Amino acid sequence: MASPVTKLPSLSVFIPCFNEAENLDPLIVSLLTFLPEISRQFEVIIINDGSRDQTGVLADALSRKHPEVKVVHHPRNLGYGMALRSGFKSARYEWTFFTDGDRQFNVRELLKFIPFTTNYRVIIGYREKRAEGQVRALPARFFKLYIDLLFRVHVKDIDCAFKLIRTDLIQRINFISTGATINAELLYRLKKMHEPFKQIPVTHYLRLHGTPTGNHPQVILRAGIESIKIYLNLKFGWKFT
């Protein structure tokens, strides 16, 4: 049951971005408008993962304009997992929230999460209905089944980029994943810490600008291979280079 909470004491928000120049400014404006409603102190961290468009230039301009905005630049594209790891490492406030830079979520839905922070330290969103339709959703369903067979996480939407977690929990983890398996590793390790998950439905919107990369066959294949390596490492201590 949710408890009434007006505001968090402090919140770090980070956004992994790869070629999100058309999405970045409206997303940051929406965050800076909304976040004072839910947190007494906050920061917004843009993780520019080696973008080839104007994302990095715009991120720096936003940082100069708004003192709450910080930027972490990767000199080249290191992948989604490394972008999240940079965000986790950079967070300096009590709670950490992350969402992607593609504006497929409404950040105001985070308001639904806040009352549950009195009883939970891990609050994760799940997409009630994927905006891309059934054809695009099918690979995600197979990947979820595959991850559940490996890690037994058993959540409704492993890869939903709408998660609010206590920062101290995240920063205890020495992540292995560098790619798309990062969310599975995160939830598996939190489960091993005996942290209960509160799952809340969120709305998923079509991408209006930019090109998605998550459903690319090579990305899915790499994630599948990485998942096995992480499983073998965590279960048996096997290390891979």
Three-class secondary structure of residue 21 per DSSP? helix
Using 50, 70 and 90 to split pLDDT, how confident is the model at 147?
confident
Token pair recorded at residue 60: 């720096």
Q: Is the pLDDT of residue 216 over 90?
A: no
Number of helical (H) and strand (E) elements in the chain, helices listed first: 7, 7
**Where in the chain are the domains?**
11-236
Question: pTM of the predicted model, to two decimals?
Answer: 0.90
Using 50, 70 and 90 to split pLDDT, how confident is the model at 237?
confident
Tens-digit pLDDT profile for residues 85-116: 999 999 999 999 999 999 999 999 999 999 99
For residues 54 and 210, the model is more confident at: 54
Give, in degrees to the nearest 5, the angle at Cα 184 between 168 and 114: 50
Distance CA 121, CA 177 (A): 22
Q: Is the pLDDT of residue 4 over 70?
A: no
Distance CA 56, CA 191 (A): 35
User: Could you confirm whether domain 11-236 is CATH 3.90.550.10?
Assistant: yes
Q: How far is CA 106 from CA 12, 28, 34, 102, 150, in A?
A: 17, 12, 11, 11, 31
Contact (CB, 8 A) for 95 and 11 = yes
Give, in degrees to the nearest 5, the angle at Cα 207 between 205 and 180: 95
Using 50, 70 and 90 to split pLDDT, how confident is the model at 80?
very high
Beta strand ranges found along 109-235 (DSSP E): 122-127, 162-166, 198-202
